[in-house]
Amino acid sequence: MNPNKKSPFAGTIDILKFTFGHTVKTGGFISSTVLVSLLLCIGLALVSIIPAMMQQEDDSDSEQMHIYVVGDGVVDMQFCSSAVMNSIENITFEDSSKTVDELAAEIAESGYNSAGIINSTLSQEDGKITFILPTGSDISEESALNILDRLSNALKQNEAAMSGLPPAVISALSMSVFTDVYSAGEASRSIGEILIDMLAPMIISLVVYMVILLYGQTISKSIISEKSSKLMEMLLTSVRPYAIIAGKVGALWLASLMQFTIWVLSGICGYMIGMIAAKAIQPEYVSFIDELIKLIREHTSAEAFSPFAILMGTLTMLLGIFFYFVFAALASSKIQRAEELSNGMVIFQMPVVSAFLLTYMLPLTGGNSAITALFPYIPFTAAFSTPSSVIIGNTSILTSVISLIITVAATLLVIWLTGRNYKNNLFNQGKKSKLFGK
């Protein structure tokens, strides 16, 4: 049968299967997958274990602390001491008329290592509070600074109380005020929605950016290396170049997604192992990641993270990555030798870096909303902006569908251009073009 009468993509599945099997069986792919998985698992486990161990040490160090207060401060230290004792357990204060040196010597002789000295030189205008750690003290500098911070806040409250102002006025002066700006008619946003708007684009766009840069060069090397293979010339007699490009890029795309999924699952597994170990070390340990997730769940609108929004966001992300992989093949399709790979990578990397920075930085800086509204309709920017925007509910489902259709059309166009360049450069290698020669 004449191959020109076949579908342009006939044989794509066979090429995809062969390339995928060959890729995942290489030593480099297996070793990198295993090594990075172990590092992620161990690293994310330590993220929970180390804070739990530090918290346990702090708890063990904070057996009953006794703080001696000396100096010529005129502010009521008893008020401040009671305020600190209400917020820090296992601590007592004692006013002393002795000097710092005398107290330090007594503490050293007694062998009581959970004692400290606060020297106050406070007046109504200014002053200083110093925490002295005796030789061999078990009290850490972090604990001492924490006590001083709380003591300083208590002193300010004491000064306000001594001023004679009404309690309501004192409460108003010490009240924390949250400020924000909204347009007329705009609904206020919760803390969870603000966090989502900041974190979701950052995390998802960074993942897409890392995957594209990490595997884009692999695709370029694969395209260039097989130009010198006689097998490709024979294969092109029965398979259209578009099928070769689609199959090879699709195989590397699936291999990269499989590898990245393994890494993500390894990280999640490591985090869960770390949480189990952290709870065993410190039963009251709470991970900041858990607290952040809880805060987001409690304050996020119901429209965000719907199943269909997550599905569309995932599809736009996967297709956007595939588009960039095909573009990497296009950038390297005219390169004849491996030594020229850097030229092709520059052509590939410039749009990647530019689109990532544009979609990530412009919204954060309050850039032109008319430009950001175009991001879903441009395949280069849609890969970075549309997935997170759809998932958090800032982009409609209709817009995401249109974005998908445009990206599919652009991907097919790039495959066609890549296949044509691939075939022409393969069969015309070393020959002069008719335009320049006889």
Q: Label residues 350-360 b or e (16+ Cβ within 10 Å = b).
A: eebeebbebbb
Strands (DSSP E) along 76-124, which ranges?
91-95, 115-120
DSSP single-letter state for residue 228 = G
| Euclidean distance between CA atoms 122 and 418, whole angstroms | 77
- For residues 84-111, average pLDDT: 78
The one-letter amino acid code at 231 reads: L
Q: Which of 7-11, 263-267, 269-273 has the lowest mean pLDDT?
A: 7-11
> pLDDT grade, residue 1 (50/70/90)?
very low
Return the pLDDT at 432.
41
Nearest residue to 67 (alpha-carbon basis) of 150, 126, 162: 150
Nearest Cα neighbor of 127 from 101, 96, 156, 104 is 156
User: How many C-alpha atoms does 48 have within 13 Å on its Cβ side?
Assistant: 30
Q: Which residue has the higher pLDDT, 175 or 309?
A: 309
Kindly state the percentage of the chain with pLDDT values over 90: 17
pTM: 0.66
What domains does the chain contain, in order, with CATH numbers? 3-53+189-427 (no CATH), 64-172 (3.40.190)
**Mean local confidence (pLDDT), 123-132:** 71
Give me the pLDDT at residue 228, please.
Answer: 57
**Residue 404 clears pLDDT 90, i.e. is over it:** yes
Q: What is the pLDDT of residues 241-256, one digit of tens each?
A: 888 888 889 999 999 8
Residue 420 three-state SS? helix
Q: Is the pLDDT of residue 378 over 80?
A: yes
Residue 140, amino acid: S
Distances (CA, A) of 78 to 86, 137, 246, 417: 12, 24, 78, 81
Question: What pLDDT is attached to residue 304?
Answer: 63
Whose CA is closest to 63, among 23, 28, 112, 16? Answer: 112
- pLDDT confidence of residue 6: 65
